[in-house]
Amino acid sequence: MRLLIACAASAAVVLAAPFMGRLQAVLRSSLSTRAYVLLLGVAVGGAILGAISTAFVRIRERRAVRLLIMAGACMAGALYVQVNSTGVPEIDAVERVHFVTYGMIAVLFYRVWRRVGDPSALVVPILSAFVVGTLDEWLQWFIPYRVGEMHDVFLNLTAIVCGVMFAVALEPPPAFTRRVSAEGWQRMGLAAAVVVLVFGGFVGVVHVGHHHRIDGVGRFASRHSVAELDALKRDRATRWVIEPPIGIPRFSREDQYLDEAFWHVRERNRLWDEGDVTGAWHENLVLERFFTPVLDIPTYASPTGTRWPPEHRADAQARADATRDFVSVAEAYPIYPWSKTLYWTAVVAGAALLAVSGRFVRARPAPRTDR
């Protein structure tokens, strides 16, 4: 039953991603920034205060040690908030909601394995919640107006570790030994295998791609090969004439080609505003070579397209340094130019080895006390 509850709560968190985005948009449009941040802050603060109050009431035995663990979890959480603060109140408020959410998921998974009595009682809940966090970010990557990347997955991991620490302080294992049992090794091996498959799949889809060097244009990263970019350009040039990407529903599939195009539009505009004419010129060349539909067809970001006027383009071309070796940094998240065949082979092989590794571990016999 505890496993069922943990899985149901996890599924709710993951599947709610599109609806949470819509809810955030409604709240932002209905409330002032201050009221929006205050609302989320009160919700997060209330949840944390309630959890701490419950712990103080329930902790009776080994009070000093357990309160010390709980204090460590709170301090780690406060450090997490401080280090990862963006300075944008709305974004920081949402991150704190995620922190509480994944702390709760970690507590639920800890309750499933609390009684096993060895380190797997701590490791397996962390790995299980990490899988949930990865699936959540993966789904967000597929949804318009949401962002999912590897960096956010590891931010969730901090909340997960804090959640397990808090759960240990609230409900310590009834018995515990530092020696991992054979069953514990199997549990950890299987959980680690699932982590490798899910996280490896997420990285393979989101972060593994290509680094291109195009003569006269420069170097840039993309999830797509040159042939794929050319095919996508032809497809969007035809399709967007009839259905331009203007009113994109929140409950739809993210167009990653459009997303990549806007990486270069934003970077081109940023470089131009900062006076880097050469950089802006090369970003514009990337757009003209691979993302022409975004230049000429109305989108949700620009109803008139994003192509430079002829006089603007001529001015940039005249002032740009043609000898500069340009490397674009427009990508919103890291893209690694790894062989997809080798990568997926390594992921599957690693998961398979972890899944079976626990079967070859035998419990160590207790030390002899006779002489």
Q: Residue 222: helix, strand or coil by DSSP?
A: strand
Q: What is the rounded distance in angstroms from the CA atom of residue 135 to the CA atom of residue 199?
A: 8
At residue 324, φ and ψ (nearest 5 deg) are -75, 135
Q: What is the mean pLDDT of each run of 10 residues along the chain (371 residues)?
A: 92 82 73 81 81 76 80 80 74 78 92 90 94 90 75 83 89 86 90 95 94 94 96 95 82 85 95 95 96 93 90 95 90 92 96 86 50 43
Cβ–Cβ under 8 Å, residues 44 and 95 = no
DSSP string, 67-93: HHHHHHHHHHHHHHHHHT--S-HHHHH
Q: Residue 221: helix, strand or coil by DSSP?
A: strand
Cβ–Cβ under 8 Å, residues 187 and 72 = no
Q: What is the pLDDT of residue 368?
A: 47
Q: Give the Cβ contact number of residue 371 at 10 Å.
A: 3
pTM: 0.82
Q: Which of 69, 60, 57, 50 is nearest to 168 (CA)?
A: 69
Alpha-helical (H) ranges within the chain are 2-15, 17-30, 33-58, 63-83, 89-113, 120-141, 150-170, 182-206, 226-242, 256-273, 277-290, 292-296, 310-319, 340-357
Based on C-alpha coordinates, what's the Rg of the chain?
Answer: 25
For 305, left (φ over 0), alpha (ψ -120 to 50), or beta?
left
